[in-house]
Amino acid sequence: MKTMNKLFIAIFIVMSVVFVSRKTAIAAEASYVYVDVAVLFDEYQKTKDNDEVLKTLGESKEKERETLVKDIRGLKDELVLLNDDAKAQKQEQLDEKIRKLQDFDRDAKRELGERRNKLVREIFKDIDDVVQRFGERKGYDLILNERALLYHNAKFDVTQEILKELNKGYKKS
């Protein structure tokens, strides 16, 4: 019985050593890098181009809004000069213009927000696709997001390599 226990312990020790050394060898073979996703997003040419489009669209919406505000101010100025019967009619017009302005503000905010969200999703999809292809092509086991790391060595940063690929792919399309 003691021999059986000794044999069992010996087998257990051998298996443990094999398992630990195999696990250590696998870890030593693992290759990993990290990327700063915020830099990719900010420096991606598609982000910059879409920011300009959204800025232009926002400015045109602001001009439309200013026209509505100008109309409301004009009605308010006219309202002061009118008698009571005419004031009631102008007040209705003024109330209607104010409702149109409020509707315009709500719709413009919703439209710009939806458009921005759609573009942001597209950009993050582009980033994800390029990171996936990059990792597969280079044979990396892991590509980590820099923001999730407490410490990192800059030699493992592949942000600029991925950014080049990202912008190169965008220029082609």
Instruction: State the pLDDT at residue 90.
Output: 82
**Local confidence band at 17 (pLDDT 50, 70, 90 cut-offs):** low
User: Nearest CA to 120 among 59, 53, 61?
Assistant: 53
* Beta carbons within 10 angstroms of residue 163's beta carbon: 21
Whole-number average pLDDT of the chain: 85
CA nearest neighbour of 35 among 122, 164, 173:
164
Mean pLDDT of 64-69: 93
CA distance 91 to 79: 7
Query: How many angstroms separate the CA atoms of 147 and 36, rounded?
Result: 7
Write the pLDDT tens digit of every residue in 93-114.
Answer: 889 999 999 999 999 999 999 9
Question: What is the mean predicted confidence (pLDDT) over 1-18?
Answer: 56
The whole-model pTM stands at 0.72
Does domain 31-172 bear CATH number 3.30.910.20? Answer: yes
* pLDDT at residue 23 in the model: 44
Per-residue pLDDT at 78? 82
Closest by Cα among 95, 60, 100 to 76: 95
The domain spans of the chain are 1-30, 31-172
The whole-angstrom separation of Cα 157 and Cα 161 is: 9
Mean pLDDT score, 159-168: 95
